[in-house]
Structure 1
Amino acid sequence: MSICFSSHVFNLHSAKSQSFLTRFSSQFINQIQVSSNSPCALPSSPLNLSRLCKSSRERLNPITASTTPSVETVSPTSFRNKNPKDINVLVVGSTGYIGKFVVKELVDRGFNVIAIAREKSGIRGKNSKEETLNQLKGANVCFSDVTHLDTLEKSLENLGVPIDVVVSCLASRSGGVKDSWKIDYEATKNSLVAGKHSGASHFVLLSAICVQKPLLEFQRAKLKFEADLVRAAAEDNRFTYSIVRPTAFFKSLGGQVELVRDGKPFVMFGDGKLCACKPISEADLASFIADCVLSEDKINQVLPIGGPGKALTPLEQGEILFRLLGKEPKFLKVPIGIMDFAIGVLDFLVKVFPSMEDAAEFGKIGRYYAAESMLVLDPKTGEYSSEQTPSYGKDTLEKFFERVLREGMAGQELGEQTIF
């Protein structure tokens, strides 16, 4: 059964930042390190427990989330008139790259945060329950399973408190076909259904800007859930949503920093101008997501969001890095056709060996982020627009590069599938 704890000791994922080190990269490009603008650093991983939620006094105090009003008497929009300490916010995907920062931000703002987590969380389930509790300090941690609706609903029922808002940072870690539909759609849908049954009247979804041009399975899965969320609000005018579509995460652009520092060239596809982005830090994105909990101007909106400053191409990112290092720029330009050839081979092999379906999908993911900009796609022109991509926050990619050069990429693990 899943176990709930009230913790008062914390930390936080991403976008998949959301980025992908595709098997394609290791099999076909070997040592080539490619600049990726993936906003989908895959902030959280599948939850696979099957336990019901009950209070535990073995280590920590019982859950302390607000217990009034009851689910039966709660007014669907009344939470916006309460103080944060009286608002119960359920966070799924809480141990992912962005999810951890979202939990921390919500806790810092004084909300009662209920964080759903697996007993073995993190990349490849490397974190124990103790590590998860320490990571999510200040939140009420409930170990449960978002991939099974009945288990999740029972977990929330056993909490004994109503839910006001659900914040979903769920995302497939691998981007594989089955995993994408299991997490980006089914598990996220479970959190919507279970949340509404527990009284939630607002849902904040961490999506991705890349769903504007859906060529990949995880994008299609995210879009299907976005449509379900919009439909839920249309069918119940007391229920609202905020869909957040971030651009690239800092960590998805940091994979080459240490390599370039060690004398390797900065690798990019084509002329280095194929995939521009307005990268946003995990802390700034978490702050924007937290804004969506109470901000009425973000109700029933699709919200693309990037970091401060102008859009940056891979070429410009490399130039920033070389300037910080005081080195003469040295670039390795890889023809995009290499990836097209490899994907063609994989697509052929899938027809013979269906088990290679995910390998082919990983190749397509790598190709997508090597060629597509992470900016708002202008529906009139069909072009990506830096001007139409909103900026938020204060953290810049240059400052991030400076920090990585000083401290390394610790805490910025790229997950199971990355480009670098």
Structure 2
Amino acid sequence: MSIIILFKHVLQMDVSQLNGVLRMKADEGQLRSALEHFNSVTDDLIQAYQLLEAQVAELNVKLQLANDELVAKSVANEQLAARLSTLLQVMPAGVVELDDAGRVVAMNAAVHGWLPDVQPGQPWQLGDHFHESERDGVYVRKQDAMQLFTVVACPLPGAGSFLLLVDVSNLHQLHQQLAQQERLAVMGRMAASLAHQIRTPLATALLYAANLQRDDLPPEGRSRFAGKVINRLQALETLVQDMLRFVRIGPVRDGMESIRLSSVLSELEAVVQAQLAGKQLQWHLQSGEDAAVLGGRSDLLGALVNLLENACEHAPRGSVVRLEAGVQQGFYVIRVIDQGAGVPEQVESQIFDPFFTTRANGTGLGLAIVKRVVEDMKGSIAYKHDDRGTVFELQLPVVQSNHTI
């Protein structure tokens, strides 16, 4: 502002001198008017400059406030980064930071403890440190086969990625212990149920055997009692076999084979003929496209026999027992259908549970065994009752194989 005022004074002095020179040659009124206009413009310029100075001062204050706020935020961000860095170092999970080229940028203390050979700047290859286990998504550390990990990649768009390594060894051990406890509990319930189921046929067999010792027993009576003893002993053998089949844990990998279903159905029909004839049941087999499934042949045959025996048990005398089979959407579907009344609706959800039965002489293991065999083959089983009657439907995944049985 001082420069403009000085400029004004200089102009005013120059104009005064010019007035003295031109006073005789120019109109004094016009010159005075021009000087007044110049003074007015100069005053406006000074006012505008003063207003500009005020605005600059206000902006300087706002800029200082913004600057202070940015400094405060920067300090807060640094403190947060320090806390996060400390947390990453002490957390039990491992974190590896990779750049766009897949090289290690940084890692926390957990990773350094597990993989001491990994250094910043090295390329990261999962296979250098881990190999896959039999469980999906779980890896085994090469230096310690007992240590299991899950590895999750978290990509950062345009800025590399993070790897999260979690040691799940203890969790796996807890799962194993829980499974063992569950198996022991199941075996305890099985032993109690088996003892109850064995007691009746065993007592009956002993009674029949005692009658065989009678001296006055005629030959036909001796033959009849002997037949009843054999029948009761066979019932006991069935109970024991059901128990042994049920307690088997998981599929037998060494016995897995590619099974051609057409041969199984032919054998199945021969096996159940006696049960069908005993109740004068009609047999109807409807099979479509043949296929192969992966599993244990004897287990699958036993499961299907179990279902058909169950159908024969509940089907009315003289009715039809049906078996429908064929390929549907990558699965081999088998339906066993009888015209029985089915189970009450309120217990439908329990029919595959071990030891659940609606029969007085049943073990409650038949359908549980069928379900286990089907699930071992990566399939599924379902029950429903509709206008066709009682329907058990099995779905087994079809496999491609160059060798079928």
Using structure 1 for the length normalisation, give the TM-score.
0.17
Larger Rg: 2
- Identify which of structures 1 and 2 has the higher relative contact order when contacts are C-alpha pairs closer than 8 Å and 6+ apart: 1
- Which structure features the higher share of helix residues? 2
Using structure 2 for the length normalisation, give the TM-score.
0.18
- Which structure features the higher share of strand residues? 2
